[in-house]
Structure 1
Amino acid sequence: MDISKMERYHGPVAHSSLGYLTVGLGGLGLFFVALFFVYEVTSTKYSRKITREVLLAAFSALFLGFGTLFLLLWVGIYV
């Protein structure tokens, strides 16, 4: 196996779009966190629904997690 004949690996996401993904996904995650916070503050103890709370928390965690991942890739920390 000659290393000079091998093709170089290219990631599935272009390096030039990592900043846009970071800002977009981080912004969406912060939006869902704010929505979750407003829902918790404005609803009473009896009007809260566990499914809505779990869905808002899951979406915020998902988007903030991927936003953080792309932020790390954007600054050169390859995970």
Structure 2
Amino acid sequence: MAQSVKPISSPVPEPWYPTLAVLMLAVGLIVTASFFIYEATSSKKNRSLAKELTTGAVASVFLGFGSLFLLLACGIYV
């Protein structure tokens, strides 16, 4: 029975961690910047709650996964 057990492995190859961290953090920061620009340049009457929530959610996902891959690339396994 012990022979049939497979070790847990990452679905993403380890050499990709730094690249994924940089790309996801960059995309997350760009989406965050666009969110702030949208908030600063649009009037209160022209704002869309759906657009704000969508932009915030996309930025949050990219920054979250970018932070995860940054920690994994540094050797901090969470």
Question: Counterparts of 1:65 and 1:17 in 2: how far apart (Å)?
Answer: 17
Aligned pairs, number: 77
Give me the TM-score of the superposition, normalised by structure 2.
0.89
Question: Counterparts of 2:42 and 2:56 in 1: how far apart (Å)?
Answer: 16
The C-alpha deviation readout for 1:4-40, integer Å capped at 9, x for no partner, is x665543111111101100010011001100100000
Question: Counterparts of 1:29 and 1:7 in 2: how far apart (Å)?
Answer: 35
DSSP 3-state at the match of 1:78: coil
Structure 1 residue aligned with 2:62:
63
Give me the TM-score of the superposition, normalised by structure 1.
0.88
Structure 1 unaligned runs (5+)?
A: none
The 4+ residue runs of structure 1 with deviation greater than 4 A are 5-8
Taking every aligned residue pair, what percent have the same amino acid on both sides? 42
Question: Counterparts of 1:42 and 1:7 in 2: how far apart (Å)?
Answer: 54
Q: Please report the RMSD computed on the Cα atoms of aligned residues, expressed in angstroms.
A: 1.5
Structure 2 unaligned runs (5+)?
A: none
Question: Counterparts of 1:78 and 1:17 in 2: how far apart (Å)?
Answer: 15
